[in-house]
Structure formats: structure tokens, C-alpha cells
Amino acid sequence: MNRILYLHREIILQISGNSSFFTSNGSITTPEDEFFHNRLLRMSPDITHIGGVVWPVFWSNVICWVIVYLCICNGVKSVGKIVYFTVLFPYVVLTALFIRGVTLPGAWKGILFYILPDWGQLKKPKVWADAATQLFYSLGPGWGGLIGMASFNKFHYKNLRSSIIIPLVNSGTSIWAGFVVFSVLGFAADRSGVPVGEVATAGPGLAFITYPAAVSMMPAPNLWAVTFFVMLFFLGIDSMFVTIEAILSGVVDEIPACRTRKKLITFITCLVLFSLSIICNTEGGLHVIGLLDAHVAIACTPLVCGLEIIAALYTYGPRRLSADIRFMTGRPLGRLWLVVWRYIVPVILVVITAYSLKDAAGPAGWCVALVSVICIPIYAIQLLFKSKGTLIERIRENCRPNNEWGPADPEMRHLWKAAINKNKNRDIQLNNLDI
């Protein structure tokens, strides 16, 4: 029976059961879309209308930050124990959802849609930009998390092996998750009598609208829905652990006095980050998140990675870097790695950054892109002011290792100096390092 519904100050006409709606502007939407955007988020028309705080979202954010603080306040060892569960549990859920998904009618329609390539899409720059965004988000280069976590490894840890295994496992997990998602989307498309391409959506809508709507058609929908969202929660919490621990590691390394007050520093860090996140709890919060996604992950992160390449390969130098890696791992660094790092990776990063900044969303996009990296030139200028000599001399002084550079452990530092003295063929001398 048709009836008039009033949602979010709009008149909505239900046209058939609970399958779709006409909104007041003439567009068609679904009940799941209406609930997520209008009832739950109370989403504003655009980013210029931030609106008030959406209190259910705000308190959910508070709970997340409290959980994060309680998990990381005791240091990286407690985080490691918690991560054993929060990392492995999503794999259990993915396996269960995969088994359930492939047994549903129509699942193979979704899987075929997923694995059959559309080569024409490769001509679109946005496809490559989206792929780069996915890699920067999932692998985490340029965010500090990888470096922060790696700093807790043993000195002679086999980093090269991990550098290969981690991307392979990450990509494999993403591909596996794609089978989980598209098997259920194929089932939903089969039930609705529409092509899979009309069911599949991008962005937050896939996780919070499309996939839950498909799950609601499955037997025992509440069980699968709860399991799915618990998995998403753990994945998000894991990301927060790593990112915040990277910030804390940087603060403690720069200010050694903070080591005795780690819990207080952790609390202050979480409080500051929570305060900054409140804008995402407003009616325009989803627009803000979209702005951050578009200009931090795909523009600023490649820029940071590019600066890291310059610091490691062009300032510190490939010979020094190769010698250090050989000293730490016991294996020489192949020339292929140096060629890729010095020439191929910088070109890719420049193209990605230029493409993103070209499409910056006006002043807001440029502000987001600049604010997230402005601390880098500020810190560099500060070092130049503290140095002595002419401008060229100051730049040269700050573009080479100082007396403090080297392993933190005294024993390893002594062995490292001895290795440098013996490494005459690679032209790394103690007088060049100012040690």
C-alpha cells in the first residue's frame, strides 16, 4: 500500500513495498540509503553546510577513542597482544562470509563481474588514482606506521623479506575480500533482477548501504550483519593503533623526557585527535571525510613518500643506504631496488600527486592538502635558522648525517662504525659522516 513518508524534512513517496523511494527532488533512493544518510548521519547537502553535531555518531566516536587509549596506553607490547586477535578475527569472518556467499543463488554472477576485466577502464586516470589510493590506505606508506612499528624490531630483522611478504599478503587479502563482497552482491542482484553493475557501488556506500542491504536478504541476516560490522570495527581499530603509535614514537624520540610519562602523552594525543575528529561527527561530516580521502591519501601521502625517497636515496645516498641495509640484514641490496627507488617510484609519485592537485576541490581542497604537510617545511626552516654559516653551508650541513646518526644501541653503533671503516669500496668513510 502506497503512503507518504516524511524523512529529513523531505516528502518521500514509497512506490513499491520497501524497495525504493522518490525524494522531493525527483531522484530515486532506497530505504537503506535513506536510513544511512538522512536518519543516521542527517547528512547536509554539501560541505559548505557543516551543520550541528550528530550525537549518536559523536558518542560512537567517543567510545572508539576510549577503546583505543585503553589498548595502547601500556605501550607497543600490549598493542601486539591485542592485534593478534583484531587481525586474525577478520580473517575468520571473511572465511565464514566467503563460504556463505558462494553458496547463495546468483553468487557466481557477482564473482564473474568481479574477476572479468574491463580493459577500457585502464584508459581512465581516475581508475589509476583510485588504485593508488587503495594501496596507500591499505599498505600505509608515508603515514609513519610502517616505520614506527619497524623501529621495535630487532636490529638484524629481515626487513627485505617482510617488504615482500606484507604487500603480497595485503593484496591477497584485498582480492579475497573482493570475492566475499561480490558473491553477496551477485546474490542481491539475482534477487532484485538487476545487473550486478547496478548493485555495486563505490565509497562508504558499499560497506554501509549496499552490502548490508544484500545481507538483509540472506538467511539469518542479523547474525551476518553483526558479524560483518564487528569485523569492520576491528579493522578500523587496528588502523588507529598503528597510526597513533607512530605519532607517539615520534614524540618520545624527539623528547626523551616524555618516556616516563607515556600514558599521559598517549592520553593527550588521543584527546587532541578526538577533538580534531569532531568535525566528522557533524551533519557535513561525510563531506569532510570525502575531502580528506581525496586530498590526503592521494596527494599528500605520495608527496611525503617522495620526500622520503629524496632523503634516503639522494641526500643520504644509495651507497650509504646499501651499506646500512647490508650491515643490518647481512645481504647486499640489489641494483634493481636502487633503480626502482631512484627513478621509477619518483615518477609515479609525481604523476599521482599532480593528478590529485589538478582536481583539488577549490580552496578547501588546497588547504587540506597543504595543512597535512606544512609541518615538513616548517621543521626544515627551523633547522636552517639554528645552523651557522651561509645559507648554502646551512643546507649542506642539514643534508648529511650528523654526529648522532647511527644505531641507538652502543654495541651495534661500535660495530657499525667498524663496518663503515672497512667499506672503502663503497666510499663510505667516517670523515664523510662527521662521526
Q: Which three cell numbers stand for residue 33?
A: 540509503
In this structure, are 291 and 277 located in the same domain? Answer: no
C-alpha 325/C-alpha 318 separation (Å) is 10
Assess if residue 432 is contained within a domain.
Answer: no
Of 225, 256, 283, the domain-final residue = 283
> What pLDDT score was predicted for residue 14?
39
Assess if residue 260 is contained within a domain.
Answer: yes
The number of helix segments (H) and strand segments (E) in the chain equals: 22, 4
- Edge-to-edge order in the sheet of strand 10-14: 3-7, 10-14, 21-22, 28-29
Q: Which three cell numbers stand for residue 71?
A: 589498548
Q: What single-letter amino acid sits at 151? A: S
In this structure, are 213 and 104 located in the same domain? Answer: yes
Assess if residue 428 is contained within a domain.
Answer: no
Distances in Å between the alpha carbon of 60 and those of 47, 56, 57, 67?
A: 22, 6, 5, 11
C-alpha 114/C-alpha 295 separation (Å) is 27
Assess if residue 151 is contained within a domain.
Answer: yes
Going by C-alpha positions, the residue among 60, 91, 41 that lies closest to residue 238 is 91
Assess if residue 48 is contained within a domain.
Answer: no
In this structure, are 170 and 267 located in the same domain? Answer: yes
- In this structure, is the dihedral angle defined by the CA atoms of residues 132, 135, 138 and 144, taken in order, positive or negative? negative
C-alpha 418/C-alpha 423 separation (Å) is 9
Q: What single-letter amino acid sits at 131? A: A
3-state secondary structure of 143: coil
Break the chain down into helix, strand, coil percent, rounded to 5: 75, 5, 25
Q: For residue range 281-322, what is the model confidence (pLDDT) as tens digits?
A: 999 988 888 888 777 766 788 888 888 998 888 888 888 888
In this structure, are 33 and 67 located in the same domain? Answer: no
Of 264, 283, 302, the domain-final residue = 283
Q: Yes or no: say if 226 and 215 are a contact pair by the CB < 8 Å rule.
A: no
In this structure, are 276 and 292 located in the same domain? Answer: no
C-alpha 199/C-alpha 185 separation (Å) is 7
Q: Which three cell numbers stand for residue 253?
A: 624520540
Please give the sequence-ordered ranges of beta strands (E in DSSP) within 257-373, or none if there are none.
none
C-alpha 286/C-alpha 78 separation (Å) is 32
Q: Yes or no: say if 53 and 282 are a contact pair by the CB < 8 Å rule.
A: yes
Helix (H) or strand (E) holding 14: strand 10-14
Assess if residue 294 is contained within a domain.
Answer: yes
Assess if residue 328 is contained within a domain.
Answer: yes
Q: Which residues are annotated as a binding site?
A: 138, 170, 235, 238-239
C-alpha 147/C-alpha 335 separation (Å) is 23
In this structure, are 289 and 202 located in the same domain? Answer: no
121-128 long-range contacts (CB < 8 A, ≥24 apart) are 125/355, 128/352
3-state secondary structure of 327: helix
Number of alpha carbons in the 13 Å side-chain half-sphere of residue 275? 6
In this structure, are 276 and 355 located in the same domain? Answer: no
In this structure, are 24 and 77 located in the same domain? Answer: no
In this structure, are 244 and 320 located in the same domain? Answer: no
How many residues does the structure list for the chain?
435
Assess if residue 422 is contained within a domain.
Answer: no
In this structure, are 335 and 220 located in the same domain? Answer: no
Of 229, 255, 283, the domain-final residue = 283
The domain total for the chain is 3
Q: What is the pLDDT along the chain (435 residues), one digit of tens a residue?
A: 333 333 333 333 333 334 444 444 444 567 778 888 888 888 888 888 888 999 999 999 999 999 999 888 887 777 777 888 888 888 998 899 899 888 889 999 999 999 988 888 888 877 887 787 788 878 888 888 888 888 888 888 878 788 888 889 988 998 999 999 899 888 888 887 888 887 777 777 778 888 888 888 888 888 888 988 998 898 888 888 888 888 888 888 888 888 888 889 999 999 999 999 999 999 998 888 888 877 776 678 888 888 899 888 888 888 888 888 888 888 888 888 889 999 999 988 888 877 777 666 567 667 777 777 888 889 889 888 888 888 888 888 888 887 778 888 888 888 888 887 776 545 544 444 444
Q: Yes or no: say if 144 and 246 are a contact pair by the CB < 8 Å rule.
A: yes
Q: How far is CA 250 from the centre of its chain?
A: 18
Q: Which three cell numbers stand for residue 159?
A: 626487513
Whether the model clears a pTM of 0.85, i.e. scores above it, the answer is no
C-alpha 388/C-alpha 396 separation (Å) is 11
Q: Which domain holds residue 27?
A: 3-40
In this structure, are 114 and 262 located in the same domain? Answer: yes
Q: Which residues are annotated as a binding site for Na(+)?
A: 138, 170, 235, 238-239
In this structure, are 131 and 218 located in the same domain? Answer: yes
